[in-house]
Structure 1
């Protein structure tokens, strides 16, 4: 029966004609539901194997480790309550108001390296290598080899980066904890590099979902040689980026809820590299009076 004849049928006969087996489209393939269709399928890079597992199948249950984690969380909770009686971040009000320098990360043992993670384009099929270890003088020693050749997957066009980023600080029961640097205006580092330029990126707490990839970045120029260099970068110099792209709508860095800080190398110069960090801190420079170094977009300007 043609479609024109079906359109001219009355409603009752039209319903009866639906049961006509000649109008149904037969399929030779069986109707099956894929196992991964039940869960959210994330983007997978070309060449990576398909992980055919549910999220709960990767969980390992261990009673002894769970008991130790509970004790650790209650210990952190006790410390949080005791710090609030003393003052902000466990310091008295007088010391908090008069504080002009604060060391955030100091590398004085192997346990200090556990607060950092390293990554490179090897995760997407690249050839760059990056390693992190404790230096001879109890410093953070980051080294490796940079390779800008893109992977041969037919999709990736650019490659060649190595990065080191601090882990998200956590309070008791895996609650997010933020750094409050609102009393300071300058980032202070003591580094020793090989002459390569690095990118310093600071991530803050995102209030909206589309801000989760926002980073405040600025450049770190190392001069090379055997001597250490003290680098002071005002927070007003950091500019807003999203996935490596500088945004048109700029605004100052939110210092009240800082999550992580990272160092990225991507100067497209193939070869070995190294960066040694003694400490990372913040300070208050009274000679610096600049609020923000870049032009801001004024919304709803006055007429």
Structure 2
């Protein structure tokens, strides 16, 4: 019977960051666009690609991800100062990148992730006005690659950076864009930042390598105090 099959739970790749064409699908922005002094860059990092004769390197644990290909690199300088004359008028300290809208002859291309429970981002360690946001909590702080899993149900609706009082469930049938931002102004922190990213996928619980990270709560003085925001 047509339509009788259960929805597919196979992991769905939304974006990869392994070529210049992949990187060109994303736009960047920072407070310098409105009078701040931060900088932002998003480019292909070919240093993560190892020679083909280097052989396969096996991961020693589920958190130890091996990436032998070019990857995206999000980096720059986070600064809280603003240009002269704009003090008290604007707030500095943010930078980010987001996928560009994908227009077609038949309307804008969107992604349906309603059959998946988690957004999975493969990253290296930390160093419209309505947005669904979630903080990124890293388990590594040694610059190694890891998969970060975020339950779709845990995203919150925001408007201009503030929580919307009346929360509604994310409409996962039509995801328009995905991006990552660093909000230094919220925590009063400035300095250089860098984040590597290899892929963004939609997955289910059977694909999550470790759910213990979901139970961790950020505490004072940990690396989770100033994570990027999705």
TM-score, with structure 2 as normaliser: 0.71
User: CA separation in 2, counterparts of 1:248 and 1:120?
Assistant: 26
Give the equivalent residue in structure 2 for 1:122.
32
How far is 1:153 from its partner? 2.6
Gap change, CA 1:118 and 1:287, over 3 Å in 2: closer
Deviation of 1:229 (Å): 1.5
Counterpart of 2:72 in structure 1 is 140
1:150·1:160 contact (CA, 8 Å) conserved in 2? no
Q: CA deviation at 1:128?
A: 0.5
Matches within 5 A, 1:31-180: 97-135=7-45, 136-137=47-48, 138-154=70-86, 156-172=89-105, 175-180=107-112
Tell me how large the CA RMSD over aligned residues is: 2.4
Change over 3 Å in CA distance of 1:123–1:287 after alignment to 2? closer
TM-aligned CA deviation for residue 256 of structure 1:
0.7
Unaligned runs of 5+ in 1: 1-91, 196-211, 289-303
Number of matched residues? 180
| Counterpart contact for 1:150–1:156, Cα < 8 Å | no
Cα distance 1:221–1:127, how it changes in 2: closer, same or farther (>3 A)? same
Of structures 1 and 2, the larger Rg is shown by: 1
Which SS does the other structure have where 2:141 is aligned?
Answer: coil
2:134 aligns with one of 218, 222, 228: 218
For the residues of structure 2 that align with 1:250 and 1:171, how far apart are their CA atoms? 31
The 2-side partners of 1:287 and 1:281 are apart by 11
Instruction: Considering fraction of residues, name the structure with more strand.
Output: 2
Q: Is contact 2:96–2:179 with CA below 8 Å preserved after alignment?
A: yes
Question: When you count helix as a share of all residues, which structure comes out higher?
Answer: 1
Give how far 1:95 is off. Answer: 9.1
Give the 3-state SS of the residue equivalent to 1:258 in structure 2.
coil
Instruction: Give TM-score scaled by structure 1 length.
Output: 0.55
The alignment partner of 2:202 has SS state of: strand
Counterpart of 2:201 (choices 262, 281, 296) is 281
1:255 to 172, 193, 206: 172
CA distance in 2, matches of 1:103, 1:96: 20
